[in-house]
Every structure is written in structure tokens, then in C-alpha cells.
Amino acid sequence: MGDLDLAFIGTGNAFAPGGLCWNGFVAGGRYLFEAPPQALQSLNRMGIDPNELDGVVISHHHGDHFLGLPFLLLHWKYFQRSRPAYIVGPPRTRELAEAICRTVYPGVLDAPYELRWVELAGGESVDLPGIRLSARAVQHDTRLSLNLGYLAELGGRRLAYTGDTGLCDAVLELAAESQVLVAECSSVDERVPIHLNLVDDIPKVRAAMRPASTLILTHLTPDVAAAAPAGTLVARDLERFRL
Ligand SMILES: [Zn+2]
């Protein structure tokens, strides 16, 4: 069982409060979870070569999780990516991404490498190079195609990610099954609906986890870090964890 590397390219919620970058992280140096608008900038700042990524895993189509894709594709096209890139997300990911990319960077999809689209429904799994991903339907914005959390098995470790969600059975199951859980925590109290908050929800999430498992909060406001209980990690922009 090896170490699990997590590199947070951003930790803020949709409002980028206090100047936080929008949430996303690289797992095991290979898969970028979420494509926030500043993804390419943050990867460059952290010295992570986007061409080294095997793929991108998207939880849902809100702009703070999705609108960085055109910049990644721009990089891959013009900086000599040659091997395939996987884009994983809920249904309609390919249709939406291609429409946006064709509109904002015409020609960016005509590239010398292969894009491999994987769309998952809740309960579906896929085996990709170096990772097994299991998608779980979570409760967030019902106007979107689907909102997903993920259980990821990589490097002999079980990493779970809630995506954006209110507290629901799927979140508690991800908490119970994982060794490392990256959970959104959009506010200290209940002021942001259809999201997890620190006071009401995170204690229930922690209680569902095994005692030795690690909980990392992201998708934050700055005051979450100050109020977080001992033993709960709160990610910071451009921070790396080795767990
Ligand atoms: Zn969202």
C-alpha cells in the first residue's frame, strides 16, 4: 500500500470567497478531479505538467467544476500531448464540453491525441489506467444532468470525493468505504443550501468514517478553516498532501 498524493489546485466554493481558487485536486499525480476555470493556471503554478495527467474526473456541470476544460484542451493541443486523455463525468459531459470548446476555442478539438469520453450514472464503475472509479449519485442541483461523487481506487488506496452535495446516504457510504475522504464544506453553517456545512453535516460525515481514515475539507469559505475541529484537515490553495 503506497502513499496517496493529493495536490489541491484550488479550495474555494463557487463564489471564490476571500480570493480562494475554485476547488479541484490532482490524485496520485495522474487524475485531476474537477476542471475549475483556473485549472491550467494552478497546475502551472504547482509545477504539474498537464500532459502528465491521464485524465479529468468531473462531478457535475456547474461552472466552477467544469469551465476549465477548454484551457486544458488548449494546452494539450498546442503543447504536444500525444497519448490519450480521459474525460469522466455525468451524462451529457461530452455534448456540453464539445459545444463550449468549439465555441470558445474553434479547432481545439481537432488535436493529434485521442480524447476518450466516459459518462457514468450513479452506481456505474470504470477501470482506467491506474484507477478504478465508481460513481455515486449525490444530492445537489437537480436541474443539471446528474451530480456525482466518486470512490476511486488507486495505488492500493481508497479515496472518496463527495462532489457538491447536501448530506445524503451516498455521502455517508463514501465516508464509510474510504481511507481518505475529500468532502466539500461550503460554509460553517447552513447558509449555503444543497451543500455540506461544518456545524450540521461534517460531524455526521466524520462519524460514518473509520477512526483511522483521513477527512480533508475543500470547496470552502475561509472561515471554515478557522472553525474546523481538531483532526479534520482543511485544504489550502496549492497545498500538497502525502497520506
Ligand atoms: Zn455545484
Domain containing residue 89: CATH number:
3.60.15.10
Measured in angstroms, how far is the CA atom of residue 164 from the centroid of ligand 1? 5
Residues 77-86 as b or e (16 or more Cβ within 10 Å = b): beeebeeebb
pTM for the structure as a whole: 0.98
- Identify the DSSP state of 191: T
The one-letter amino acid at 224: V
Measured in angstroms, how far is the CA atom of residue 93 from the centroid of ligand 1? 15
Q: What is the pLDDT of residue 230?
A: 86
Q: What is the pLDDT of residue 154?
A: 97
Give 181-238 pLDDT, tens digit per residue.
999 999 999 878 899 999 999 999 999 999 999 999 999 999 998 899 888 999 999 9
Q: What is the pLDDT of residue 191?
A: 79
Query: Is the CA virtual torsion 46, 184, 37, 222 positive or negative?
Result: negative
Residue 232: all three cell numbers together: 479534520
Measured in angstroms, how far is the CA atom of residue 157 from the centroid of ligand 1? 26
**Average pLDDT across the chain, whole number:** 97
Measured in angstroms, how far is the CA atom of residue 77 from the centroid of ligand 1? 28
Give 28-77 pLDDT, tens digit per residue.
999 999 999 999 999 999 999 999 999 999 999 999 999 999 999 999 99
Mean pLDDT to the nearest integer, 118-136 = 98
Domain that holds residue 230: 5-242
Query: What is the distance between the alpha carbons of residues 25 and 110, in angstroms, rounded to a whole number?
Result: 27
Measured in angstroms, how far is the CA atom of residue 54 from the centroid of ligand 1? 24
Residues near ion ligand 1 (Cβ under 5 Å) = 62, 164
Measured in angstroms, how far is the CA atom of residue 79 from the centroid of ligand 1? 30
Q: What is the pLDDT of residue 190?
A: 83
Q: Is 206 helix (H, G, I), strand (E, B) or coil?
A: helix
Phi, psi angles (nearest 5°) of residue 135: -90, 140
The tally of domains found in the chain comes to 1
Query: What is the distance between the alpha carbons of residues 147 and 59, in angstroms, rounded to a whole number?
Result: 6
Measured in angstroms, how far is the CA atom of residue 163 from the centroid of ligand 1? 8
Mean pLDDT to the nearest integer, 127-152 = 98
- Identify the DSSP state of 15: T
Would you place residue 1 in the very low, low, confident or very high pLDDT band (cuts 50, 70, 90)? low
Query: What is the distance between the alpha carbons of residues 90 and 149, in angstroms, rounded to a whole number?
Result: 10
Residue 135: all three cell numbers together: 460513481
Measured in angstroms, how far is the CA atom of residue 62 from the centroid of ligand 1? 5
Q: Of 180, 183, 179, 159, whose CA–CA distance to 171 is shortest?
A: 183
